[in-house]
Amino acid sequence: MLVFGFRWVGVLALVVLLCACGGSNSSEGDNSELLPTEPGVSPTPVPTLEPGASPTPLPAPTSTPTAIPIPLPSEQPTPVPSETPSPSPTPTLAPPVQPTPIPTASAEPTPEPSAPPSPTPEPSLQPMPSPEPTPQPTPGGDGESLYKLASGSSASCASCHAEDGSGVAGRGGEILNCGTNCNSLSALESKIALSMPIGNAAACDNDCAQAVARYIWTALMGKSLDGQLSCDVGIQKTSPMRRLNKTEIVNAVHDTFGIGSEHFATSLADETEVVGGFATVGTALTTSREWTERYLDAATSVAEDIVAVGEFGMDCSADSGASLPFPPGFSLDGDQCNTTSQCRSVFGQSANDCANSGASNSICMCGGAPCADATAVDNEACVKTALTQSGNALFRRPLSEAEVNRFIGLYTAANDHDSGLQHIIVALLTSPNFLFVLPDDERETIRKLSDRELAERLSLALWGSLPDKRLLELAASGSLYEVLDSEIDRMLDDPKFDRFGEGFVAPWLGLGGYLIEGSDLNVSDEDWALLLEDMRTESKLFVAHIIKNNLPVNELYTADYSFLNSRLAEHYGVESEAGESEFKLTYFPREAHRRGLMTHGSVLAKAYDGTKTSVVKRGVVPLEAFSCGAPEPPDDPEIENAVNDQAAADKTEKEKIAERADPAQPCAGCHAVIDPVGWVFTEFGVAGERVAQDPDGDPLNTGGVLYGEMFADAYEMAAVIADRGDFETCFATKFLIHSLGRRVDKHSREDNCAIENVVESVGGPVGARDFIKAMLQSDISTVSGTIFE
């Protein structure tokens, strides 16, 4: 039995206080149910603690400051004064707060803190009293005192990490060398705000985290604050050079030639190595031997198709001379033909008659003159024209003369005209000038992107393809920046923007890798495939709608409508007049509780693991994708084993949630946010359809508490998350990873500041369209630094 100081009691008591404050009010002491069943009472899945309970021996903490168990003391803790402060849930980018609706007065540091006030001996879920939604002041004080002294009822940092930051064996790790967590002041701040102190992550938020981080940074690590504080670091980073990804290659071929792209679509593997979920980051887009072999083979097939159909060099008809195999009986001087089509087979399309075809001396006529006399079409010039037309588009710049000569050389060295054309196409497609997004130079200075580089960035980001003629013209004349705003508008209105759904929305939401099969929904596999495709379309159309119509970014999550066809409407259980192939804007009735992307079938279906829907995953998905606030999964093998044990255990979901909320275990720090979010969706089944029972088979009760606010259903929960204001920044982060092709991280001061600058530049609530335009025109998109990210 571990005996720890009162500070530990304090922490756990605080937590107990947070969750058990209702205990003295309610008379539910004997309630052995884990969730109250009265309607209208929102439960929190947080149990009260049994005072004096012996803890299960927890594993020794590792040196990483993530998983430090907090053992319960064995002795009876001293009673707590009732006015114990709790940390405030101020809306920021930072961490989830324990449900703490206790109104408090002042923040008095109490070194001898609390015992659970509730006398109830059994763990049970108590309903929370009406929460105090207004934010509370964070514990005050300078960084040093925050670090060294227990503040509020929390343990002090020093109690685990030692006063000099060197760590305490068995308690907290050394914080002087904490790896990426201390790369920058803002990273340190984020880490503290997000997960410290263990078990009560919200205790030190915002100002507290800032102050403590600064103290650690300066006093303990001895580093300077220079360059860490201001938001005028400018742009230092740049994106790694990358190749075009599979989608972009397919689109490029389609846009340039109109045909043949399906060979790439079928032969190339889907990009699986993605960073941040998006296949635009160069470090992950490789060209292994395997990949290159497939690529070259597909390119050869593409070229065959293009030439066979005549989409390249169409008017470059063959020589009218002696290089052709003449049909039997044909002689240049004598009888040339019997029919016009014979003439065409020799002289090409320009032949339009076989004159005197009845006689033994018929001549092929081209226009008004004998074909044999006609000047041969200048093959080379014609081919050159086709080459430069396609080559300039594929290379995004005019071909140099040397390049043109090389390609013509390939053409003339080939066996015949068609083969020569194929050679050219394959050479164009295999050239790094096509396949890679080449920077203008070595990126050794911080500079603006050139017009051409910017044109490429815009067209790849918005269209998933190569710049069109107009963009290339503007780039060539150096006037793209002047008309940047209207160009982006044009691109958003262009039909090619339809591809944005596949290029951005699909990776952002993760519209792949579903483990559901038809049998899980009692339908055939084909029907499920159709439904899934409809769900994907719904999400893509929805996001495109918000963007194109410049609706607020938050509406992505608070919209009470979506785009449904008849199949989806039936699946969701709402009325619709749409047919099977049309997706109409359909409003949801309030009682459907559906709201925004979080209740899209495509998103809800992701949490199915093959046998059941995971409540935890339903919580993590929106937190990760939409508010960028998902805690990192625990790294500790002991915790993994505990997770497996729980997963295999024969308990109800509600019991498991209660276990995870147990503040004696480190789970609660993260699961206090994940689980209420995941649980609110239990009224939606495996693929987002309405169900009548919760996963345990009990009547539905989807309510919960998040960031100190209660909600009864998904509709209300969406508002709670939206109020925190994380969505815009998170959306910006995701969009920027996609369009810049590099890691964009809110832990990075530079990225953080750059996004803040964008938000400030639009000033106030902004529509999604304006937001995207602002992002693409701001420094983060137009300036290239020297640090490869």
Partner 1 sequence: MKISRRSFLRSTTCGVGTMVGLPLLEVMFKSESAFADAPGTFPRFFAMYVPNGIIEEKWYPESGTKREFDLSGSALAAFQERGLKNDISLYRGLTNECDPGGSRGNPHMIAISSWLTGRALPSDRDQMHVPSLDQEIADALPRTKVHSLQLAGNSELDRPNNNVYFNPLKNALNWDRSGRLLPLKSELRSEFARLYAGINEDPTSNIDRRSALKLSVLDDVKEDRQRLINRVGASDAQRLEEYFNSLRDLELQIEALANNNPSEGGQCTRPMEEADIPNPQNGSRNNAIRDHAKIAAQITVQAFSCGLTHAVTYCAGGEAAGCEYRDIGINTHFHNSISHNRSGRYDQWVRIDAFHAELCAEFMYQMKHTPHGGGTLLDGTAVLFGSGLGNGDRHQHTDIAMMVGGHFGRWQHGRYHRFNGRSHADVIDTIRQEIGLPNNYGRNTVPIS
Q: Of 587-646, which residues contact partner 1 (CB under 8 A)?
A: 606-611, 614, 617, 620-621, 624-625, 630, 633, 635, 637, 640-641, 644
Q: Please state whether beta strands 787-788 and 237-238 pair in parallel, antiparallel, or not at all (unpaired).
A: parallel
Nearer to partner 1, 153 or 256 (CB): 256
Least separation, in Å, of the C-beta of 186 and partner 1?
17
CA 388 from centre of chain: 38
How many residues are there in the chain?
A: 789
Least separation, in Å, of the C-beta of 398 and partner 1?
16
**Which of 187, 371, 438, 661 forms a contact with partner 1 (CB under 8 A)?**
438
Q: Rounded to the nearest 5 degrees, what angle is found at the Cα of 581, between the Cα atoms of 577 and 583?
A: 60
Q: Other CB atoms closer than 10 Å to residue 609's CB: what's the count?
A: 12
Interface of this chain with partner 1, residues 18 to 57, rule: CB under 8 A = none
273 part of the interface to partner 1, by CB under 8 A: yes
- Residues 289-308: x/- map of binding to partner 1 (CB under 8 A)? xxxxx--xx--x--x-----
Bridge partners of 448, per DSSP, are 783
Interface of this chain with partner 1, residues 708 to 767, rule: CB under 8 A = none
**Which of 413, 483, 529, 700 forms a contact with partner 1 (CB under 8 A)?**
413
Least separation, in Å, of the C-beta of 519 and partner 1?
10
Least separation, in Å, of the C-beta of 399 and partner 1?
12
Least separation, in Å, of the C-beta of 284 and partner 1?
6
Nearer to partner 1, 1 or 413 (CB): 413
Nearer to partner 1, 606 or 749 (CB): 606
**Which of 119, 227, 334, 512 forms a contact with partner 1 (CB under 8 A)?**
512
Q: What is the residue-wise DSSP string for 103-164? A: --------SS---------S--EEEPPPP--SPPPPP-S-HHHHHHS--TTSPPSHHHH-TT
561 part of the interface to partner 1, by CB under 8 A: no
Nearer to partner 1, 242 or 724 (CB): 242
The pair phi, psi for residue 43, each rounded to 5°, is -85, 155
Q: Nearest to residue 721, comparing CAs of 603, 626, 614?
A: 626
Nearer to partner 1, 371 or 426 (CB): 426
- For residues 51 and 33, give the distance between their C-alpha atoms in angstroms, rounded to a whole number: 20
User: Which residue type, as a one-letter code, is found at position 576?
Assistant: S
Least separation, in Å, of the C-beta of 647 and partner 1?
6
Q: Which stretch binds partner 1 (CB under 8 A): 273-281, 319-327, 370-378, 695-703?
A: 273-281
Nearer to partner 1, 554 or 614 (CB): 614
Strand residues in 627-768 grouped as ranges (E):
704-706, 709-711
Least separation, in Å, of the C-beta of 551 and partner 1?
23
Q: Other CB atoms closer than 10 Å to residue 130's CB: what's the count?
A: 9
Q: Other CB atoms closer than 10 Å to residue 55's CB: what's the count?
A: 16
**Which of 283, 338, 385, 782 forms a contact with partner 1 (CB under 8 A)?**
283
Least separation, in Å, of the C-beta of 283 and partner 1?
7
Nearer to partner 1, 443 or 490 (CB): 443
Q: Which stretch binds partner 1 (CB under 8 A): 162-170, 280-288, 379-387, 523-531?
A: 280-288
Q: Which residue has the tokens 């060979």?
A: 263
Nearer to partner 1, 26 or 62 (CB): 62
Interface of this chain with partner 1, residues 139 to 168, rule: CB under 8 A = none
**Which of 24, 430, 558, 566 forms a contact with partner 1 (CB under 8 A)?**
430
Interface of this chain with partner 1, residues 443 to 462, rule: CB under 8 A = 443-444
- What is the SS3 assignment for 491? helix
Nearer to partner 1, 406 or 651 (CB): 406
Q: Give 56-67 as a 3 state SS string.
A: CCCCCCCCCCCC
Q: Nearest to residue 175, comparing CAs of 164, 190, 159?
A: 164
Nearer to partner 1, 115 or 628 (CB): 628
Give the number of residues in contact with partner 1, rule: CB under 8 A.
Answer: 78
410 part of the interface to partner 1, by CB under 8 A: yes
**Which of 272, 331, 360, 581 forms a contact with partner 1 (CB under 8 A)?**
272
Interface of this chain with partner 1, residues 226 to 255, rule: CB under 8 A = 240-243
For residue 110, CA distances in Å to 208, 676, 769 come to: 17, 31, 51
Contact between 13 and 76 under an 8 Å Cβ cutoff? The reply is no
**Which of 76, 82, 286, 479 forms a contact with partner 1 (CB under 8 A)?**
286
Question: Which secondary structure element, helix H or strand E, spans residue 87, and what is its range?
Answer: none
Q: What is the residue-wise DSSP string for 590-602? A: GGG---TGGG-HH
270 part of the interface to partner 1, by CB under 8 A: yes
Give residues with Cβ within 8 angstroms of 116, minimum separation 6.
Answer: 13, 16, 17, 20, 23, 48, 49, 51, 77, 80
Q: Which stretch binds partner 1 (CB under 8 A): 329-337, 347-355, 426-434, 687-695?
A: 426-434
**Which of 439, 518, 695, 767 forms a contact with partner 1 (CB under 8 A)?**
439
Nearer to partner 1, 624 or 770 (CB): 624
Least separation, in Å, of the C-beta of 245 and partner 1?
13
Least separation, in Å, of the C-beta of 127 and partner 1?
30
Token pair of 782, please?
């137009």
Q: What is the DSSP letter of 82?
A: S
Q: Which residue has the tokens 């002047």?
A: 482
Nearer to partner 1, 411 or 463 (CB): 411
End-to-end CA distance of the chain: 48
Ranges of H-type helices in 605-704: 615-625, 637-648, 653-660, 668-680
**Which of 345, 357, 431, 782 forms a contact with partner 1 (CB under 8 A)?**
431
Q: Rounded to the nearest 5 degrees, what angle is found at the Cα of 556, between the Cα atoms of 551 and 561?
A: 90
Q: Which stretch binds partner 1 (CB under 8 A): 404-412, 525-533, 583-591, 769-777?
A: 404-412
Contact between 340 and 329 under an 8 Å Cβ cutoff? The reply is no
For residue 273, CA distances in Å to 277, 279, 310, 635 come to: 9, 7, 37, 22
- For residues 108 and 577, give the distance between their C-alpha atoms in angstroms, rounded to a whole number: 61
Nearer to partner 1, 223 or 406 (CB): 406
**Which of 4, 330, 436, 587 forms a contact with partner 1 (CB under 8 A)?**
436
Q: What is the residue-wise DSSP string for 343-373? A: HHHHH-TTEEEEETTTSTT-EEEETTEEGGG
Q: Which stretch binds partner 1 (CB under 8 A): 122-130, 222-230, 442-450, 659-667?
A: 442-450
Least separation, in Å, of the C-beta of 293 and partner 1?
6
Nearer to partner 1, 569 or 680 (CB): 680
Q: Which stretch binds partner 1 (CB under 8 A): 23-31, 281-289, 353-361, 659-667?
A: 281-289
Interface of this chain with partner 1, residues 302 to 361, rule: CB under 8 A = 303
Nearer to partner 1, 157 or 394 (CB): 394
